[in-house]
Structures are given as C-alpha cells and as structure tokens.
C-alpha cells in the first residue's frame, strides 16, 4: 500500500495527479526525487507544505501525463532531470539507457536502468533502491497492477520481451507503476481467468482498498506473476482462454500475449 505519511523522514510517497496518475516522490530527509511529474501543482504543494527540496526528476517516457510538470518544476532552481536517451523530452540533463546507473547517496537511491520498449519506443524503467527501500521498480506505463501499457509505439514482440525483463527481477520488488488502473484491469483479468483464486481474492482486496480511498499500488512483482494475465501468457489456463476468445488455437508466449493485449484494448 502507498505510504502517504509525509511526517516520516524517508519513504516513497504517491502524489495524485490528473484522474488516475501517481507521481512517486522519493524522500530522504528534506531532499526529494519525483518520478514522472505529469503536472507540477500537486508536487509543489507537497514540497511547500512539508518544507522539502526537489533535487531530482526521473522520467520513464515522453507522454504528456508523465513529463508535463518538468518545466515548471525546473524553475524551482537546482533540479536535475534524468530520462530516456532516445525520447524527446521537455528537458533532460542525464540521458539514460539500459545498463546505466543512477546513484544518488543523498536520497539513498541506487537504480539500474532497463530499456522496456513497447508502450513507447524509448520507454525505460528503474530498478534498485530508493530512499533506502529495496528492491523497488519504477516502470511508468509498462507494467500496471494486473495490466500493462497499451502498445502505442511498439510491437507485441517488443512489449513481451520488455515484460520478460521485468519478470526476471526479484519477486519481492515493489512495483511503482504510474496509474491507478487496477480495478478496471481486474474486471478484465477475472474474465480471462475466472478460476484463478489468487486473482479473485485480489479483486476483493483491491475493491476494499479503493472503497476506503486507498491506493492499490505498489504491488509486489511475485504477486503480479500470480494475478496479471499479461505476465501469464505461458500459463495453460490463459492460453486456453485466449484461444477460445479468438476462436482458434493460439501458441503460448508472444502470440498469446498479443491476443491478450488486443482483447483488453476492446474490453468494455
Ligand atoms: Zn504513457
Ligand atoms: Fe500514462
């Protein structure tokens, strides 16, 4: 569950933006890094209210709801912007690609960069330690709780490979995705896997969290492996459900993944 207690000296806090975005704020002492600030106002409000100093902006991809606040936040002064090397961003001081490391001792932050093309062509993710919390994954719009990003600039093959990269990370990794899409993802996921008991239990739990106004993220990667159909394109039940949905036998793996993505795109 999201830590919203800004009175603690260190932690990762979710700042709500727009309808359903989360801007993740990594805080250590008075220093803060934010991930994907789509708008500046809610970030400025938190900084002012708690007397914090914005030191760093981490970007995962170029979409407006992730970078829209960059210029206004940079105007605060000494803010360093990290982002994907191959995307056009409002501003970037440190262009990153796979294998690069973001090491910021003042934020107890040590993150490795992964290339995860699919949602956008140059999308990156960050994995490692932030505010002393480890392991954490900031995956933008690549992986969601029981969902994944739409394929705006990539092929199913690319996204499948990107998600496989994330699946290889430690299972305890906390998944800090950029949107609260969980309940609508779960409505679809339960259609795909009506007999997945973990999934049904999670749907009830997530509904209760939202009922109380709480976030459903971050989740753990090992949990996603059990309840996220997009990470289960090799599971026989999922392959069978997809085959039935498209009306012909579908191969496990990327073919099943591509059909899942198309199914979800059309799901209302
Ligand atoms: Zn996006
Ligand atoms: Fe987004």
Task: Give the span between the Cα atoms of 47 and 54, in whole angstroms.
Answer: 7
Write out pLDDT tens, residues 44-64: 999 999 999 999 999 999 999
Decide if 61 is catalytic.
yes
Catalytic: 91?
A: no
Which neighbouring-strand residues pair with 32?
27, 54
Return residues with CB closer than 5 A to ligand 1 (ion).
63, 141
Question: How much is the pLDDT for 29?
Answer: 93
Query: For the chain, which residues make up each domain, given as ranges?
Result: 10-182+214-224
Alpha-carbon Rg of the chain, whole angstroms?
18
- DSSP labels, 204-240: HHHHHHHHTT-----EEHHHHHHH-GGG-TTSHHHHH
The pLDDT, as a whole number, for residue 268 is: 87
Which helix (H) or strand (E) covers residue 143, if one does? strand 143-144
Q: Which ligand does the CA of 178 lie closest to? A: 2
Task: Name the burial class of residue 58, with classes exposed (0-12), middle (13-18) and buried (19+) by CB atoms within 10 angstroms of its CB.
Answer: buried
Using CB atoms within 10 Å of the CB of residue 208, give its burial: 0 to 12 exposed, 13 to 18 middle, 19+ buried: exposed
CA of residue 61 to ligand 2 center, whole Å:
9
pTM for the model: 0.97
CA–centroid distance, 208 to ligand 1, in Å, is 27
CATH of 10-182+214-224, one of 3.60.15.10, 3.30.365.10, 3.30.1330.30, 3.40.50.300: 3.60.15.10
**Interatomic CA distance for residues 107 and 138, integer angstroms:** 15
The whole-number pLDDT of residue 1 equals 40
The three-state secondary structure class of 150 is coil
Q: What is the pLDDT of residue 157?
A: 98
Q: Is 13 one of the catalytic residues?
A: no
Give the model's pLDDT for residue 8.
62
Kindly indicate the confidence band of residue 142, based on its pLDDT and cuts at 50, 70 and 90. very high
Give me the catalytic one of 13, 28, 62, 119: 119
223 is catalytic: no
């Amino acid at each position: 569950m999201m830590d919203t207690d800004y009175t603690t000296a260190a932690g990762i806090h979710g700042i709500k933006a727009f309808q359903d975005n989360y801007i993740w704020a990594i805080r250590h002492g008075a220093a803060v890094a934010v991930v994907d600030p789509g708008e500046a106002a809610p970030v400025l409000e938190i900084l002012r209210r708690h007397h914090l100093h914005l030191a760093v902006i981490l970007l995962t991809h170029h979409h407006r709801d992730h970078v829209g606040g960059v210029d206004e936040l940079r105007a605060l002064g000494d803010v360093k912007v990290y982002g994907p090397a191959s995307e056009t961003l409002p501003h970037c001081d440190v262009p990153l690609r796979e294998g690069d490391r973001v090491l910021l001792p003042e934020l107890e932050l040590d993150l490795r960069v992964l290339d995860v093309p699919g949602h956008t062509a140059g999308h990156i993710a960050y994995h490692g330690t932030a505010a002393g919390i480890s392991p954490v994954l900031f995956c933008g719009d690549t992986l969601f709780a029981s969902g994944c990003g739409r394929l705006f600039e990539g092929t199913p093959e690319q996204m499948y490979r990107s998600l496989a990269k994330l699946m290889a990370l430690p299972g305890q990794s906390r998944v800090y995705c950029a949107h609260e899409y969980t309940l609508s993802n779960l409505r679809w996921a339960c259609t795909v896997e009506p007999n997945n008991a973990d999934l049904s239990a999670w749907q009830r739990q997530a509904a209760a969290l939202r009922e109380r106004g709480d976030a459903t993220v971050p989740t753990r990667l090992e949990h996603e492996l059990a309840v996220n159909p997009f990470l289960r394109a090799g599971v026989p039940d999922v392959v069978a459900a997809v085959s039935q949905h498209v009306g012909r036998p579908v191969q496990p793996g990327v073919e099943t993944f591509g059909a899942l993505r198309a199914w979800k795109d059309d799901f209302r």
